[in-house]
Each structure stands twice: as structure tokens, then as C-alpha cells.
């Protein structure tokens, strides 16, 4: 049995992925990354929803109410969290310039300003545009919130038994290929 890995991501982004509203996330890494830079640790991982940094003004207006809705269901004193999304990394594209980032504005939920801030943070490092094939777990699973999961880091080790959790793709292969092509066309013109 392989080690179950989790990638921490805003709950609103995890929800958008699960709903098929986007197929990408953008990463620079957390402040406490072991390598100081973001690195892909696994091509397959669970998305671990986080709440501490997401704010409604950092997502496009039609997603702002979703931030509030998700936060109503969250309590910082909780001792477990529900996981319902699994991802396979299809491609990791490095974004170096504002021009490249601007081309992707219609492909994600974040405001242009927030996307720009992510690109500017750790200015000498590229922004990872992770194109993901998303799966919803047949039954969400609850995992304990361990102290090592807290803080600004991207990757966490999850209980090994999660690797066997049954799941299904959130969109057909045909639709996924269309979405993938749309991102590539946006990026490459």
C-alpha cells in the first residue's frame, strides 16, 4: 500500500475543482516548505481543504458567497476534517511572467489581483500551474487534524488506508480533454 499524500488548498478552490468549474490550481508553496520552494511531491494526492487564508475578496464575485457558505460549516476547534476530493496531476506548467498569467484569467476562480500577488511572491521562483484530473470520493472520509497538518506548508502525510478510497471522475474524459485544451489555448494563444 502506498503512502497517502494530501495537498492543502483553499476549501473554495477544492469545491470549484469538485464541481468541475476549473481544472487547475496555482502554487508557490507555503512559508514552511521544507525546501523553501514548492515542489511536486506526488502525482496523485488528496486535496485537503483549508480555511485560514481564503477570503471572499480574493475570489471572483460569483464565488464569494461560496467562501462564506463553506466557512459557516467550519470551526477552527474541530479535531477532524472531511476529505472528498482526489487529484491526479496531468501537467505542471511553470508560469514566469505576468503576461502568461493574464492569459489564464478565465480559467480559475481567483481575482486577477490575487493571482498577480501569488506570482510576485518569491519573485525569483515561478508559479506552478498544476493541471489536475479530479475525482470525488464515493464516500467522504474524515481524518483527524494532526498538529503536523497545521501551518503554511503544502504537502501533508495522511493515513495510508485512504489510498484505497473508491472514487469517480467529476467529468467525462471528453469534457476533461476539452477543458485541458482550453487552458492550453488560453496560455499559448
Q: Where residue 100 sits, what CATH number does that domain have?
A: 2.30.130.30
pLDDT of 33 = 45
Distances (CA, A) of 82 to 31, 67, 137, 141, 154: 24, 17, 11, 5, 17
Q: Are strands 80-95 and 44-50 parallel, antiparallel or unpaired?
A: antiparallel
Q: Which residues in the chain come in under a pLDDT of 70?
A: 1-2, 29-37, 58, 65, 67, 70, 73-74, 122
How many domains does the chain divide into? 1
What distance in Å separates the CA atoms of residue 27 and residue 75, rounded to the nearest whole number? 25
Strands in the chain per DSSP E: 4-10, 24-27, 44-50, 80-95, 127-144, 155-158, 167-169
What distance in Å separates the CA atoms of residue 50 and residue 12, rounded to the nearest whole number? 9
Query: By residue range, what is the domain housing residue 127?
Result: 4-188
Count of CB atoms within 10 A of residue 47's CB? 25
pLDDT of 184 = 94
pLDDT of 49 = 92
pLDDT of 31 = 46
Amino acid at each position: 500500500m502506498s503512502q497517502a499524500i494530501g495537498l492543502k488548498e483553499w476549501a473554495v478552490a477544492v469545491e470549484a475543482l469538485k464541481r468541475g468549474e476549473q481544472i487547475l490550481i496555482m502554487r508557490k508553496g507555503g512559508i514552511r516548505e521544507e525546501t523553501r520552494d514548492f515542489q511536486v511531491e506526488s502525482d496523485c494526492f488528496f486535496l485537503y481543504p483549508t480555511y485560514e487564508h481564503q477570503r471572499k475578496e480574493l475570489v471572483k464575485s460569483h464565488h464569494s458567497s461560496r467562501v462564506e457558505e463553506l466557512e459557516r460549516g467550519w470551526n477552527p476547534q474541530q479535531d477532524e476534517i472531511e476529505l472528498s476530493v482526489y487529484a491526479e496531476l496531468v501537467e505542471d506548467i511553470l508560469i514566469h511572467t505576468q503576461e502568461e498569467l493574464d492569459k489564464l484569467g478565465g480559467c480559475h476562480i481567483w481575482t486577477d489581483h490575487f493571482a498577480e500577488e501569488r506570482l510576485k511572491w518569491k519573485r525569483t521562483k515561478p508559479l506552478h500551474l498544476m493541471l489536475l484530473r479530479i475525482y470525488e470520493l464515493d464516500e467522504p472520509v474524515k481524518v483527524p487534524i494532526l498538529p503536523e497538518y497545521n501551518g503554511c506548508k503544502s504537502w501533508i502525510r495522511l493515513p495510508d488506508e485512504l489510498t484505497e478510497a473508491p472514487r469517480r471522475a467529476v467529468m467525462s474524459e471528453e469534457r476533461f480533454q476539452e477543458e485541458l485544451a482550453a487552458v492550453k489555448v488560453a496560455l499559448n494563444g
